[in-house]
Amino acid sequence: MVEISVIIPVYNVEMYLESCLNTIINQTFKDIEIICINDGSTDNSLNILNDFSKNDKRIQVISQENQGHAVATNKGISMANGKYLFLMDSDDMLELNALEDTYNLAEEKNVDFVLFKAINYDDEKGIYYESKNYNMLELHQKVKDNIFNYNDIDDLIFTIPVTPWNKLYKRELINKYDIKFPEGLIFDDNVFFLESLI
């Protein structure tokens, strides 16, 4: 069994996919599997995935007809073997020590998931910038670096970004409660995160 399963649903992201995959394969934490679900891409995404998988045996590429983010992500989760899940969007990048740091925190504190801040990137202007939504300063001021649950944070529950790519989940939690991304919804992240939190 690997320690972390990285799930990446992929649909027509040839502009960003190489950068995304490079930030995963070069993580300081090496005990990972990388499950890429090609969700019927019509651009060069599948070729990029196949090229990466030839050079890194940790990468599995699964192709399916286009069925949407929820179906692709759920499929990846169902295939995962890791103790933890990291759900990565294919147009995002990750600091190279992120999986190691979040894994160590999850193990040290024995928590169901670890949250971390995200930084926005404006690819037209070529700049990084922080936003209130993703830096979670209000939440941090209330709970510091302590373990908490939804009862501890009152209305701050609505300030936590629901996106999956700033969280490391214990797979046992997701499996135990059969938490899935609901198919056919545009904002499927909301349901997945709130079910996980509550």
63-114 residue pLDDT tens: 999 999 999 999 999 999 999 999 999 999 999 999 999 999 999 999 999 9
| 166 and 196 Cβ atoms separated by less than 8 Å | no
Give 157's contacts (C-beta < 8 A, 6+ positions apart).
150, 194, 197
Count the domains in the chain: 1
Confidence of residue 187 (pLDDT cuts 50, 70, 90): confident
Q: Within a domain: residue 26?
A: yes
Distances from the Cα of 145 to the Cα of 106, 112, 119, 137, 159, angstroms: 12, 15, 19, 12, 17
Work out the number of other CB atoms within 10 angstroms of the CB of residue 169. Answer: 24
How far is the C-alpha of 99 from the C-alpha of 168, rounded, in Å? Answer: 8
Q: Please indicate whether residue 128 or residue 174 has the higher confidence score (pLDDT).
A: 174
Q: Within a domain: residue 139?
A: no
- Nearest Cα to Cα of residue 90 among 2, 173, 17, 140: 17
DSSP letter, residue 182: P
How far is the C-alpha of 129 from the C-alpha of 151, rounded, in Å? Answer: 31
> In terms of residue numbers, what domain contains 50?
4-117+162-197
Angle CA 106–141–137, to nearest 5: 85
User: Above 90 in pLDDT, residue 1?
Assistant: no
Give the pLDDT confidence of 6-53 residue by residue, as tens digits. Answer: 999 999 999 999 999 999 999 999 999 999 999 999 999 999 999 999
Predicted pLDDT of residue 123: 85
Predicted pLDDT of residue 184: 87
Residue whose tokens read 């209130």: 132
User: Above 90 in pLDDT, residue 186?
Assistant: no
CATH number of the domain encompassing residue 72: 3.90.550.10
Residue whose tokens read 């699964």: 62
Longest dimension (CA), the chain: 48
Q: Within a domain: residue 148?
A: no
Torsion from C-alpha of 194, 107, 87, 22, nearest 10 degrees: 150
Q: Within a domain: residue 56?
A: yes
Q: Within a domain: residue 128?
A: no
Q: Within a domain: residue 111?
A: yes
Predicted pLDDT of residue 175: 97
Mean pLDDT check: name the lowest of 95-109, 123-137, 168-182.
123-137
> Token digits for 7?
């799930």
Q: Within a domain: residue 155?
A: no
Q: Within a domain: residue 135?
A: no
Predicted pLDDT of residue 45: 98
